[in-house]
Amino acid sequence: ATPTALLVGTGRGAQLGILIKGPEVLESTRRVDTIVLDKTGTVTTGTMTLVEAYATEGTTSEEVLRIAGAVENASEHPIARAIARGAQDRTGRLPAVDDFANLEGLGVRGTVQGRTVLVGRAPLLDEQGIVVPADVVAAQREAVAQGRTAVLVAWDGVARGVLSVADEIRPTSEQAIRQLVALGLTPVLLTGDNRTVAEQVAGQLGIDRVIAEVLPQDKVRVVEELQAEGRVVAMVGDGVNDAAALARADLGLAMGTGTDAAIEAADLTLVRGDLRAAADAIRLSRRTLGTIR
């Protein structure tokens, strides 16, 4: 394509709410045949809400919430925001946290009122040799069966409760995926969240291929594996944990509602956080490059 055509294409993109890093990006956009979609914050809004707090014998749901909320208050993760907000609403002011640590893709750790607290998913607790009572396991399964993300709360070596958070699928996601499939792309859902929740979301959106329970540092490997299958891979993400995969993909797309790290790593930004703009970008690249060459 001529430089002028590419510039026109880029300008048209801006009108569609697609920010393109450079005119050459249109060429990789045109060749894409597989689109990997991060779940939380990309196909879902990422605005999670606390919906339930379960406490095992010997404690109360208020105490579980207060202690977990105190640690999560130091984290920016959407799950952490939901838990801190929910805890504050239900129990009032949260205690202070010391020695806070963010364990990316797993959860958080901190010291609250002399207790060593862990909040996160099961592998984090396993790794630390935490005892998980049967009723806590059952409460977690129940929450997951309802399509929620269940987070375990442990202190002093024992899991004491389960916090369930829910996230909504963006109203535009289903139509976007239908459009992408109609353009001949294979959608793949990629998430650090558990398999049951991921499959529920994928089912609602008509996505057949699901890769779940992936640690942030392994997202880039998933992109590489798809490329090794001979695919030309687009990746759409919003989080700091998506940045490496966005950079590695043949085409990286960031949600405009996402983090600066994701936007910087991507070739293209969907300004309004509307996934349908990904389909618009592909149509635009095909039109711009198809007609002129």
Q: Identify which range of 69-77, 90-98, 180-188, 262-270 contacts ligand ADP by CB under 6 A.
A: 69-77
39 binds ligand ADP (CB under 6 A): yes
User: Does 121 help bind ligand ADP (rule: CB under 6 A)?
Assistant: yes
Position 174, amino acid:
E
Q: Smallest distance, Å, CB 119 to ligand ADP?
A: 5
Site for ligand ADP in 123-182 (CB under 6 A): 149, 151
Which residue in the set 41, 69, 120, 252 belongs to the binding site for Mg ion (CB under 5 A)? 41
When asked if residue 81 is in the footprint of ligand ADP (CB under 6 A), the reply is no
- Is 40 a residue that touches ligand ADP (CB under 6 A)? yes
Map residues 202-241 to x or -, x wherever contact with ligand ADP holds by CB under 6 A.
--------------x----------------------x-x
Binding residues among 20-39 for Mg ion as defined by CB under 5 A: 38
Longest pairwise C-alpha distance within the chain: 72
The answer to whether residue 105 forms part of the interface with Mg ion (CB under 5 A) is no
Nearest distance in Å: CB 208, ligand ADP: 19
Nearer to ligand ADP, 108 or 210 (CB): 108
Minimum CB separation from ligand ADP for residue 112, in Å?
A: 14
- Give the HSE-up count for residue 119: Cα atoms under 13 Å, Cβ half-sphere: 34
Catalytically annotated residues: 38
Shortest distance, position 233 Cβ to Mg ion, whole Å: 17
> What are phi and psi for residue 22, nearest 5 degrees?
-160, 160
- Out of ligand ADP, Mg ion, none, what residue 216 binds, judged by CB under 5 to 8 A for its kind, is ligand ADP
Shortest spacing between CB 214 and ligand ADP, in angstroms: 7
DSSP structure string for 43-69: IB----EEEEEEE-TTS-HHHHHHHHH
- Give me the DSSP letters along the chain: --HHHHHHHHHHHHHTTEEES-TTHHHHHHH--EEEEEIIIIIB----EEEEEEE-TTS-HHHHHHHHHHHHTT--SHHHHHHHHHHHHHH-SPPP-EEEEEETTTEEEEEETTEEEEEE-HHHHHHTT-B--HHHHHHHHHHHHTT-EEEEEEETTEEEEEEEEE-PBPTTHHHHHHHHHHTTPEEEEE-SS-HHHHHHHHHHHT--EEE-S--GGGHHHHHHHHHHTT--EEEEE-SGGGHHHHHHSSEEEEETTS-HHHHHH-SEEETTS-THHHHHHHHHHHHHHHHH-
How many residues make contact with ligand ADP (CB under 6 A)?
24
Contact between 110 and ligand ADP (CB under 6 A)?
no
> Would you state the structure tokens that stand for residue 285, as one six-digit string?
């690249």
Among 9, 86, 120, 161, binds ligand ADP (CB under 6 A): 120
Smallest gap from residue 108 Cβ to ligand ADP (A): 5
Q: Does 107 bind ligand ADP (CB under 6 A)?
A: yes
Instruction: Write out the residues near ligand ADP by the rule CB under 6 A.
Output: 38-41, 72, 75, 77, 79-80, 105-108, 119-121, 149, 151, 191-193, 216, 239, 241
